[in-house]
Amino acid sequence: MFSKSHTKYIQSLQQRKFRDEYGVFLAEGPKLVEELLRSPNLNCKQIFSLPFWLNANEQLVAAKNTIEVFEVQDFELEKISALATPNQVLAVFEKKKENQVDVTGKITLALDSIQDPGNLGTIIRIADWFGVENIICSRGCADMYNPKVIQSTMGSIARVNIVYTDLALWLKDKREVKTYAAALDGRNVKTLEGIKEGIILIGNESKGISDALLQMVNEKITIPKIGEAESLNAAVATGIILSHLFT
């Protein structure tokens, strides 16, 4: 039976310290929850759902027979939802295990202090679209399990391996693979077609890539500017760069 303790628990998971403590994260909405339930990489612990969603997804939920299921009413879902308009179902998933990262023979993304959850989630989704297996995040990046990040990934969180580390030390250890830094000055990204291996470094939304990391890259790359905008959104820039690499 759904209780006040469940409300308190779910609400606590909006904060990173409790997500870290319990090793779980939240996902909301039919499309996202259903996609994550179908993923072999994720384990669902609890579902809080309106009756009609449970009826419509009875087989999907039954296939994961370890899930604790709670049928809730609209007003109960509203209490635990982080969405402006609660949407049918909320689920608690265990965090993924980090996998070893092999950067040889493939394109890898590295992110320097991407702090906006929406940007990080969109970058994860873009990486999934282009088949990028790994994203390496500096410790200054937003938490990948922030509810806004999870929502922005639209399910791609299940398929992309994301690692948080000291980015300077990590790049130092990967010198055998060329690192490209997205910057306002550098080689035209249009000339990168055909590159099959490399680390693409994307910087902070307002400050760009730190000087310490810029000193470690092999080459700067840039998206040619035609208009008068000062800069591009980090996620948009990532998508443009990857589109040139994979087309």
Please identify which residue in the block is written with the tokens 């402006």: 84
Beta bridge partners of 200: 109, 180
Burial group, residue 69, by CB count within 10 angstroms (0-12, 13-18, 19+): middle
Residues 15-29 pLDDT 10s: 999 999 999 999 999
CB 113 within 8 A of CB 210: yes
Residues 47-86 pLDDT 10s: 999 999 999 999 999 988 789 999 999 999 999 999 989 9
Instruction: Kindly report the pTM of this predicted structure.
Output: 0.95
Mean pLDDT by 10 residues, the chain (247 residues): 93 97 98 96 96 96 90 95 93 94 97 97 98 97 98 97 97 96 93 89 93 96 92 94 89
pLDDT of 231 reads 84
Q: Which helix (H) or strand (E) holds 204?
A: none
